Amino acid sequence: MKRIIYIPFDHLNQKYGALKNANPKEDLIVLVESARMTTGRDWHKERLFFLISSARHFAKSLEDAGFTVEYVKAETTIYGLKTVQAKHKITEVICAEPSSHRQFAALKEFGATFIANDFFLTPRPLFEDWAGSQKSFLMENFYRLQRSRLNILINKGKPTGGAWNFDKENRLPPPKKYEGPPYLEHKRDQIDLEVAKELGHTPTTTWATTRAGALAQLKNFINNHFAEFGPLEDAMTTDNWALHHSLLSPYLNNGLLHAEEVVAAAIKAFDAGKVPIESCEGFVRQIIGWREYVNGMYWFLAPDYRENNQLKATRKLLPLFTDSSKTKMNCIKETVSDIEERAWVHHIPRLMLLSNLALITGTNPQEFLDWMREVFIDASEWVMVPNVIGMGVHADGGAMMTKPYAAGGAYISRMSNYCRGCEYNPKLRIGESACPFTTLYWDFLDRHRETFVKNHRMSQQVFGLNQLSDLPELKLRAQEVLKGLDKGTI
Ligand SMILES: Cc1cc2nc3c(=O)[nH]c(=O)nc-3n(C[C@H](O)[C@H](O)[C@H](O)COP(=O)(O)OP(=O)(O)OC[C@H]3O[C@@H](n4cnc5c(N)ncnc54)[C@H](O)[C@@H]3O)c2cc1C
Ligand code: SF4
């Protein structure tokens, strides 16, 4: 063996990264299960199960393909690599560019040789050129460029369907008593059971841990959910935990699926007339737009971007985030219970419930970010940092998004059925029955009035705030609500 090819747990694909030119006769493949990754923090066990079992299945598939594989457990990745170097007397270590600043720096210092990271559709230098030429980093502008550059949903130079964006069609509330097709269940095999036993965890059947399972999930989405994905994209309901979301992020993020094949499958279904343009465009925008944009921004922004706290939010993480029994707010109780069960909720609960609550309660962004990183199945540093710090809690002062995603109970009431089962009333902002979101939304605007008055995109909200005749009572109620949230009694 001449060289070591190091495969991080999010590069699990033989066709991309360092494996695409690997030679079974010359290359020793190394995967490291580091203690830092497994025990370093209070990780959700479903997440650990998914990541470790996927990596062990992948190692086995490489052995079946004729590679020599070392799957080692070690204190840290670097320590694991050093052990393998010494055992096999090989010094050269090759790796595709890692997905976090921290791992990049550690492997660079160790002396690894990098090859370009092709797990995304946008090379890092290309995004840097785009971002470097922008005054504000509007995702929509980047997305249109991606559509043209990648020639996706483009017809004779124009957007297919006559528009770049079908968002207006994609904001339906949930239908009443909505069932939808059954979820795909993934059977557990021997490797899964071994990992589950080591972790002392009973896994769900929600997440696949093999490429075959990930492909089955893609097929299930395309055949059973894709057509209705768009219109119900923003809806939330207690009747159905995923609605028509694809549940593909974990596999896109750990390498079992590549964005290229996911988009190809989507376009094939659209070209065959199986899905309407609003669903196809909406989904394509998530993959070639948002996902690529967020990854590009992670690398474009400095490593210390994650430490931003421009709104000076100092509240400690609320107990309701780590324990769903610590709140009476139905929307949050249901969302946190879902996370406890399967480490996933879709985009709108992440943004308009969890992040919105952290934002308007003035929760410390880094505490909230750490919690989000620990509990989501698909959480990686590159995707959580811009989504939380930039989009979710506006901690970067608007560097990424021009205005904060703050909302009161009216939005949640319109887009979900949560409020019907809640002891609070989304229409009320003062009094014991007032919805905490509604009270705290106005309190938040008032606390940051001086900042927001300078932002022309916030003028309507500030105008609304100025019209409130009951602001003094509202401020008192807000203090009660914040105290109750801290104690876990609201
Ligand atoms: C505060 C916050 C935190 C988030 N944290 C993560 C995270 O840790 N990991 C993660 O993969 N996604 C994250 N997202 C984005 C999005 O919520 C998830 O990708 C999505 O819910 C995953 O479920 P799905 O595969 O069914 O997605 P779908 O709704 O079916 O969307 C399809 C795909 O689009 C991509 N996508 C959509 N929006 C985004 C986005 N904003 N950033 C990156 N990719 C996107 C994902 O790969 C997703 O699989 C976050 C969003 C917010 C607002
Ligand atoms: S009333 Fe408020 S707290 Fe209750 S479910 Fe609706 S938005 Fe959530």
Question: 238 has which bridge partners?
Answer: none
Give residue 412 CA to ligand 2 midpoint distance, Å: 7
296 CB within 6 A, ligand 1: no
Hey, is 165 helix, strand or coil? coil
Per-residue pLDDT at 389: 98
Compute how many other C-beta atoms are within 10 angstroms of the C-beta atom of residue 483.
Answer: 11
Per-residue pLDDT at 302: 86
Which of 277, 280, 263, 305 is CA-nearest to residue 120?
Answer: 263
Give residue 347 CA to ligand 1 midpoint distance, Å: 6
Nearest CA to ligand 2 atom 2: 435
- pTM of this prediction exceeds 0.95: yes
- 12 pLDDT tier (thresholds 50, 70, 90): very high
478 CB within 6 A, ligand 1: no
Who's near 50: CB < 8 A, 6+ residues apart? 203, 207, 209, 250, 254, 343, 377
Burial of 271 (C-beta count, 10 Å sphere; 0-12/13-18/19+): exposed
- What gap in Å lies between CA 4 and CA 450, rounded to an integer? 56
Nearest ligand 1 atom, CA 376: 8
Nearest CA to ligand 2 atom 3: 329
Of 28-42, 62-76, 421-435, 469-483, give the lowest mean pLDDT range: 28-42
The residue whose two tokens read 């990745």 is: 77
| Average pLDDT for 301-315 | 96
CA of 419, nearest ligand number = 2
| Average pLDDT for 58-62 | 98
Per-residue pLDDT at 162: 93
Burial of 151 (C-beta count, 10 Å sphere; 0-12/13-18/19+): exposed
Give residue 391 CA to ligand 1 midpoint distance, Å: 12
The residue whose two tokens read 């909302």 is: 407
The residue whose two tokens read 């483009």 is: 154
Nearest CA to ligand 1 atom 10: 378
155-181: b or e for each residue (b if 16 or more CB lie within 10 Å)?
A: eeeebbbeebbbbebbeeebbeeeebe
- Residues flanking ligand 2, CB < 6 Å: 329-331, 409, 412-413, 418-419, 422, 424, 426, 435-437
Hey, is 82 helix, strand or coil? helix
| Average pLDDT for 285-295 | 98
Nearest CA to ligand 1 atom 44: 291
Task: Indicate whether 168 pLDDT > 90.
Answer: no
Which of 1, 2, 6 is CA-nearest to residue 82?
Answer: 6
Give residue 283 CA to ligand 1 midpoint distance, Å: 11
- What gap in Å lies between CA 142 and CA 122, rounded to an integer? 11
Question: 113 has which bridge partners?
Answer: 94
